[in-house]
Chains A and B, each alone.
Chain A
Amino acid sequence: GTRIIYDRKFLLDCRNSP
């Protein structure tokens, strides 16, 4: 099946977005 993965850059960017 598919797996939802997030790299660290995306996760860190999400931390700062409103």
Chain B
Amino acid sequence: QVVANPEQYIKHPLQNRWALWYFKNDKTKSWTENLRLISKFDTVEDFWALYNHIQQPSKLNYGCDYCLFKDGIKPMWEDERNKLGGRWLITLNRQQRHNDLDRYWMETLLCLVGESFDEASEDVCGAVVNVRPKGDKLAIWTSNCQNRDAIMTIGQLYKERLSLPMKALIGYQSHDDTSSKSGSTTKNMYSV
């Protein structure tokens, strides 16, 4: 009697169900109309099926975004689980679109679906990649900008996973500051 090995047919469950959103920059439509849910997944296999199926960020048009958020959290500041939070922001220069953008984005997704930030993974809401002419941006959003320990853990591990040089500081900004900023720059609450 042959007993099949479950390892071969059972999909590997993720800790969370995730939703991948796509934002298309269509000036004729409202912001929320331009935000579209692509698909949700909760296994490793379904993550790769989706990831392998869609365009890489470097191929998107200017003004477009990908957002991966835990199921039930909308990729916007106003969401209940975002409004008290903030984001670790990584700004890329133009050359990095060719060299780094796609691999940084994949690494970001692996960090999220793999729950790579120990207990601090609880604080993660999602991640966003913005494709912009002046320079692309990557960010990991967390739920509470006062949770310093969790935020610092996420920032340090994220920097390591992207192999960013130690001297290249990245900053964490609260959504509150970002949404109410007067000048072009938002002050950082933390940096690492």
Chain A interface residues (CB < 8 Å from chain B): 3-8, 10-12, 14-15
- Inter-chain CA distance A13–B44, complex, in Å, is 11
- Inter-chain CA distance A11–B116, complex, in Å, is 12
Classify chain B's interface size.
Answer: 10 to 19
Q: Flag if A3 contacts B110 (CB, 8 Å).
A: no
- Inter-chain CA distance A8–B107, complex, in Å, is 8
- If over half of A's interface residues share one DSSP class (helix, strand or loop), that class is named, otherwise mixed; here it is helix
Closest to B111 in A: A8
Chain B interface residues (CB < 8 Å from chain A): 12-15, 44-45, 47-48, 52, 107, 110, 113-116, 121, 161
Nearest CB in chain B: distance from A17 CB, A:
9
- Inter-chain CA distance A14–B13, complex, in Å, is 12
Asked, given contacts A8-B114, A11-B113, A14-B12, whether A3 binds B45 with beta carbons under 8 Å apart, the answer is no
- Inter-chain CA distance A7–B118, complex, in Å, is 11
- Inter-chain CA distance A10–B14, complex, in Å, is 13
